[in-house]
Structure 1
Amino acid sequence: MPDHSARHSVSVAGVVVDGDKALLVQRRDNAHWEPPGGVLEVAETITDGLVREVREETGLTVEPIALTGVYKNMTRGIVALVFRCRSVAGNLLTNDEVKSFHWATKDEVTAMLDEAYAVRVLDAMQAEHPKIRHHDGVNLLG
């Protein structure tokens, strides 16, 4: 019988684009490269959470352009909403969560990120319509 007491969490990520490149952050805790983002707080709107998370991790204020994908980590029960964004203010600043930044091409995204994160960035860089995908935290499923 399924466990109906289990809860999902919702995260947001902003793929900040500039021409043919996307901004990646390198996390301090595991050195992985990812788009900036994090868990949406219960009382905040999706857009407010997105702007807050990107600002906290990068120092940039962004404007969401489009929802580019919905991704579910089947192992951890996390649903991620990913948006293509443009920077409207601020400067890149490292912090307690992020130790480095890189403006990556599509080829660099594929080489630097686990598949489950690379697809989010690539979808945001090229998708005309939102994608819906499932993964195990590293690899896409189906």
Structure 2
Amino acid sequence: MDHQNTHSVSVAGVIIDDQGCALLTQRRDNGHWEAPGGVLERDEDIITGLLREVREETGLDVEPVTLTGVYKNMTRGIVALVFRCKVIGGHLTETDETRSFQWVTADEVRALASEAFGVRVLDAMRSNHTPAIRYHDGTRLLGGVAEPNPTPR
């Protein structure tokens, strides 16, 4: 196996409240604002990893509602599966990984988050439940589609 051509898979949960705002976490390591998430462990399934990552970073128990996007970091070889989620328990708690939280509108997402990570939250906030497929370099979007191509006639 050529390890230079392998990928890792990550998951993120965009938690949406009753007012339509999304929860952003501020990472301790770099100060960036993002949706909670991280790399799947080799022996865990996608939903178990999603629930673990969100709980570890926020203290919240969530229920995934729908897959909202698939994103690839072309530079690092990370494929991220992003889900819209709703809170079903727990309490927001700062952790070793997160130092702050903020419930934000779409405009606030654009102001706080980098393009590559903000678009994940914005895609999850859309009312259309069609998953986006995008790729980026870790900071900027490089391409992809937010809506599927229309059916040819």
TM-score, normalised relative to structure 1: 0.96
Alignment partner, residue 46 of structure 1: 46
Q: Whole-Å Cα distance in 1 between the matches of residues 26 and 63 of structure 2?
A: 22
Alignment of 1:36 with 2:36, yes or no, is: yes
Alignment partner, residue 9 of structure 1: 8
1:102 offset after TM fit, Å?
0.1
For residues 82-97 of structure 1, the aligned pairs below 5 Å read: 82-97=82-97
1:4 offset after TM fit, Å?
4.2
Aligned residues: 140
Identity over aligned pairs, percent: 65
Structure 2, unaligned stretches of length 5 or more?
144-153
Does the CA contact (< 8 Å) of 2:59 and 2:91 recur in 1? Answer: yes
Alignment of 1:66 with 2:66, yes or no, is: yes
Alignment of 1:116 with 2:145, yes or no, is: no
Q: Whole-Å Cα distance in 1 between the matches of residues 52 and 131 of structure 2?
A: 22
Q: Whole-Å Cα distance in 2 between the matches of residues 20 and 69 of structure 1?
A: 18
Alignment partner, residue 78 of structure 1: 78
Q: What RMSD in Å do the two structures reach over aligned CA positions?
A: 1.1
Secondary structure of 1:141's counterpart equals strand
- Give per-residue Cα distances to partners, 1:32-72, cap 9 Å, x unaligned: 00000000011101000000000000000000000000000
Q: Whole-Å Cα distance in 1 between the matches of residues 119 and 40 of structure 2?
A: 21
Structure 1, unaligned stretches of length 5 or more?
none
Alignment partner, residue 135 of structure 1: 136
